[in-house]
Amino acid sequence: MAVVLSLSGSPSPTSRTARLLRHLDARLELQGHEVIPLDVRALPADALLGADPRHPALVEVNQLLAGAQGVVVGTPVYKAAYSGLLKCLLDLLPQYALTGKTVLPLATGGSSAHVLAVDYALRPVLSAMGARHVTPGWFVLDRDIQSDAGGAVTLAPTAAEPLEQLVDLFSTELAARGARSAAVAGLSGAAL
Protein backbone atom coordinates (compact mmCIF):
# COMPACT_ATOMS: atom_id res chain seq x y z
CA MET A 1 0.00 0.00 0.00
CA ALA A 2 1.09 3.61 0.53
CA VAL A 3 3.56 5.41 2.74
CA VAL A 4 1.82 8.06 4.86
CA LEU A 5 3.54 10.87 6.75
CA SER A 6 1.44 11.73 9.80
CA LEU A 7 2.36 15.27 10.80
CA SER A 8 1.34 16.78 14.15
CA GLY A 9 1.65 20.58 14.35
CA SER A 10 0.99 20.80 18.07
CA PRO A 11 3.59 22.45 20.31
CA SER A 12 2.29 20.64 23.41
CA PRO A 13 4.01 17.54 24.83
CA THR A 14 0.61 16.35 26.07
CA SER A 15 -1.11 17.11 22.79
CA ARG A 16 -4.59 15.82 22.07
CA THR A 17 -3.85 16.47 18.41
CA ALA A 18 -0.85 14.13 18.44
CA ARG A 19 -2.80 11.49 20.36
CA LEU A 20 -5.63 11.72 17.84
CA LEU A 21 -3.20 11.32 14.95
CA ARG A 22 -1.47 8.31 16.50
CA HIS A 23 -4.92 6.76 17.05
CA LEU A 24 -5.79 7.29 13.38
CA ASP A 25 -2.33 6.10 12.31
CA ALA A 26 -3.16 2.72 13.82
CA ARG A 27 -6.28 2.50 11.64
CA LEU A 28 -4.25 3.32 8.54
CA GLU A 29 -1.66 0.68 9.48
CA LEU A 30 -4.43 -1.91 9.87
CA GLN A 31 -5.45 -1.03 6.31
CA GLY A 32 -1.95 -1.91 5.12
CA HIS A 33 -0.29 1.51 4.93
CA GLU A 34 3.14 2.30 6.31
CA VAL A 35 2.71 5.30 8.61
CA ILE A 36 5.60 7.54 9.65
CA PRO A 37 4.64 9.76 12.62
CA LEU A 38 6.29 13.16 12.90
CA ASP A 39 5.72 15.67 15.68
CA VAL A 40 6.90 19.08 14.48
CA ARG A 41 7.69 20.02 18.09
CA ALA A 42 10.45 17.38 18.03
CA LEU A 43 12.32 19.27 15.31
CA PRO A 44 15.15 21.57 16.45
CA ALA A 45 13.87 25.05 17.29
CA ASP A 46 16.97 26.65 15.76
CA ALA A 47 16.14 25.08 12.40
CA LEU A 48 12.53 26.26 12.49
CA LEU A 49 13.05 29.71 13.97
CA GLY A 50 16.31 30.31 12.13
CA ALA A 51 14.54 29.53 8.85
CA ASP A 52 17.31 27.18 7.76
CA PRO A 53 15.89 24.83 5.11
CA ARG A 54 19.34 23.19 4.77
CA HIS A 55 19.33 22.06 8.40
CA PRO A 56 19.70 18.23 8.48
CA ALA A 57 16.39 17.83 10.33
CA LEU A 58 14.52 19.78 7.65
CA VAL A 59 16.33 17.95 4.88
CA GLU A 60 15.09 14.73 6.50
CA VAL A 61 11.52 16.05 6.62
CA ASN A 62 11.75 16.84 2.90
CA GLN A 63 12.99 13.29 2.24
CA LEU A 64 10.11 11.85 4.26
CA LEU A 65 7.67 13.98 2.27
CA ALA A 66 9.24 12.95 -1.02
CA GLY A 67 8.82 9.28 -0.14
CA ALA A 68 5.21 9.59 1.03
CA GLN A 69 2.16 9.16 -1.14
CA GLY A 70 -0.13 10.53 1.55
CA VAL A 71 0.12 13.10 4.33
CA VAL A 72 -2.11 13.51 7.37
CA VAL A 73 -1.76 17.03 8.78
CA GLY A 74 -3.10 17.63 12.27
CA THR A 75 -3.08 20.89 14.16
CA PRO A 76 -4.66 22.48 17.18
CA VAL A 77 -6.55 25.65 16.35
CA TYR A 78 -5.27 28.83 17.95
CA LYS A 79 -7.00 32.15 17.24
CA ALA A 80 -9.00 30.63 14.35
CA ALA A 81 -5.94 29.28 12.50
CA TYR A 82 -3.53 26.37 12.45
CA SER A 83 -0.61 26.46 14.88
CA GLY A 84 2.34 28.78 14.46
CA LEU A 85 4.62 25.76 14.85
CA LEU A 86 3.02 24.11 11.83
CA LYS A 87 3.31 27.40 9.92
CA CYS A 88 7.04 27.55 10.69
CA LEU A 89 7.52 24.14 9.10
CA LEU A 90 5.25 24.73 6.12
CA ASP A 91 7.02 28.03 5.39
CA LEU A 92 10.38 26.24 5.22
CA LEU A 93 9.27 23.47 2.91
CA PRO A 94 9.66 23.87 -0.85
CA GLN A 95 6.75 25.70 -2.50
CA TYR A 96 5.38 22.51 -4.05
CA ALA A 97 6.41 20.00 -1.38
CA LEU A 98 2.98 18.35 -1.50
CA THR A 99 2.83 17.92 -5.28
CA GLY A 100 1.13 14.66 -6.15
CA LYS A 101 0.26 13.88 -2.52
CA THR A 102 -3.12 12.97 -1.11
CA VAL A 103 -3.62 15.00 2.08
CA LEU A 104 -6.02 14.60 5.00
CA PRO A 105 -6.32 17.81 7.09
CA LEU A 106 -7.45 17.54 10.73
CA ALA A 107 -7.80 20.11 13.49
CA THR A 108 -8.60 20.06 17.18
CA GLY A 109 -9.82 22.82 19.44
CA GLY A 110 -11.80 23.79 22.47
CA SER A 111 -14.76 25.38 20.73
CA SER A 112 -16.88 24.59 17.71
CA ALA A 113 -16.46 28.26 16.79
CA HIS A 114 -13.18 27.16 15.16
CA VAL A 115 -14.64 24.45 12.96
CA LEU A 116 -14.03 26.43 9.75
CA ALA A 117 -10.29 26.67 10.39
CA VAL A 118 -9.79 23.41 8.48
CA ASP A 119 -11.37 24.73 5.29
CA TYR A 120 -10.48 28.41 5.51
CA ALA A 121 -7.00 28.35 7.06
CA LEU A 122 -5.38 24.95 6.51
CA ARG A 123 -6.83 23.66 3.23
CA PRO A 124 -5.76 26.67 1.11
CA VAL A 125 -2.13 26.32 2.25
CA LEU A 126 -2.08 22.59 1.53
CA SER A 127 -3.56 23.19 -1.92
CA ALA A 128 -1.10 25.99 -2.65
CA MET A 129 1.72 23.57 -1.82
CA GLY A 130 0.62 21.36 -4.70
CA ALA A 131 -1.39 18.64 -2.99
CA ARG A 132 -2.98 16.53 -5.70
CA HIS A 133 -6.05 15.83 -3.64
CA VAL A 134 -6.99 17.32 -0.27
CA THR A 135 -9.65 15.02 1.13
CA PRO A 136 -12.44 16.39 3.29
CA GLY A 137 -11.00 17.38 6.65
CA TRP A 138 -12.45 17.27 10.13
CA PHE A 139 -12.46 19.36 13.30
CA VAL A 140 -12.55 17.49 16.62
CA LEU A 141 -13.46 19.12 19.90
CA ASP A 142 -10.85 18.59 22.61
CA ARG A 143 -13.49 17.15 24.94
CA ASP A 144 -14.19 14.40 22.39
CA ILE A 145 -10.64 13.04 22.71
CA GLN A 146 -9.98 11.07 25.89
CA SER A 147 -6.90 9.04 26.71
CA ASP A 148 -6.02 6.73 29.57
CA ALA A 149 -2.76 6.58 31.52
CA GLY A 150 -1.31 4.22 28.92
CA GLY A 151 -2.05 6.65 26.11
CA ALA A 152 -4.91 4.69 24.55
CA VAL A 153 -7.35 7.08 22.91
CA THR A 154 -11.10 6.90 23.07
CA LEU A 155 -13.16 9.19 20.86
CA ALA A 156 -16.69 10.34 21.56
CA PRO A 157 -19.11 8.60 19.16
CA THR A 158 -19.91 11.94 17.49
CA ALA A 159 -16.24 12.23 16.51
CA ALA A 160 -15.29 8.56 16.05
CA GLU A 161 -17.70 7.64 13.27
CA PRO A 162 -17.02 10.59 10.94
CA LEU A 163 -13.26 10.33 11.52
CA GLU A 164 -13.26 6.63 10.69
CA GLN A 165 -15.16 7.39 7.48
CA LEU A 166 -12.70 10.14 6.52
CA VAL A 167 -9.68 7.95 7.25
CA ASP A 168 -11.25 5.18 5.18
CA LEU A 169 -11.88 7.65 2.32
CA PHE A 170 -8.27 8.83 2.55
CA SER A 171 -7.08 5.21 2.52
CA THR A 172 -9.27 4.39 -0.48
CA GLU A 173 -7.90 7.40 -2.36
CA LEU A 174 -4.34 6.28 -1.62
CA ALA A 175 -5.10 2.76 -2.83
CA ALA A 176 -6.76 4.08 -6.00
CA ARG A 177 -3.77 6.30 -6.67
CA GLY A 178 -1.45 3.32 -6.23
CA ALA A 179 -3.55 1.24 -8.63
CA ARG A 180 -3.52 4.05 -11.21
CA SER A 181 0.26 4.42 -10.88
CA ALA A 182 0.74 0.66 -11.28
CA ALA A 183 -1.49 0.63 -14.37
CA VAL A 184 0.43 3.52 -15.93
CA ALA A 185 3.74 1.81 -15.13
CA GLY A 186 2.41 -1.40 -16.69
CA LEU A 187 1.36 0.44 -19.84
CA SER A 188 4.70 2.22 -20.04
CA GLY A 189 6.57 -1.08 -19.64
CA ALA A 190 4.41 -2.78 -22.29
CA ALA A 191 5.11 0.03 -24.75
CA LEU A 192 8.85 -0.58 -24.46
Q: Give the integer Cα–Cα distance in Å for 140 and 53.
A: 32
What pTM was estimated for this model as a whole?
A: 0.91
| pLDDT at site 184 | 57
| pLDDT at site 102 | 96
| pLDDT at site 99 | 95
Q: What confidence tens digit (pLDDT) does each residue in 20-59 have?
A: 999 999 999 999 999 999 999 999 999 999 988 899 999 9
Tens of pLDDT, residue by residue, the chain (192 residues) = 899 999 999 999 889 999 999 999 999 999 999 999 999 999 999 999 998 889 999 999 999 999 999 999 999 999 889 999 999 999 999 999 999 999 999 999 999 888 999 999 999 999 999 998 999 999 999 999 998 888 889 999 999 999 999 999 999 999 888 666 666 556 656 555
Collapse the DSSP code of 2 into the 3-class scheme (helix H, G, I; strand E, B; otherwise coil) and give the result.
Answer: coil
| pLDDT at site 149 | 82
Residues in the chain: 192
Which domains, from first to last, does the chain contain? 3-191 (3.40.50.360)
DSSP secondary structure string for all residues of 117-172: HIIIIIHHHHHHTTBSEE---EEEEGGGEEE-TT--EEE-HHHHHHHHHHHHHHHH
| pLDDT at site 95 | 94
| pLDDT at site 144 | 96
| pLDDT at site 167 | 96
| pLDDT at site 177 | 81
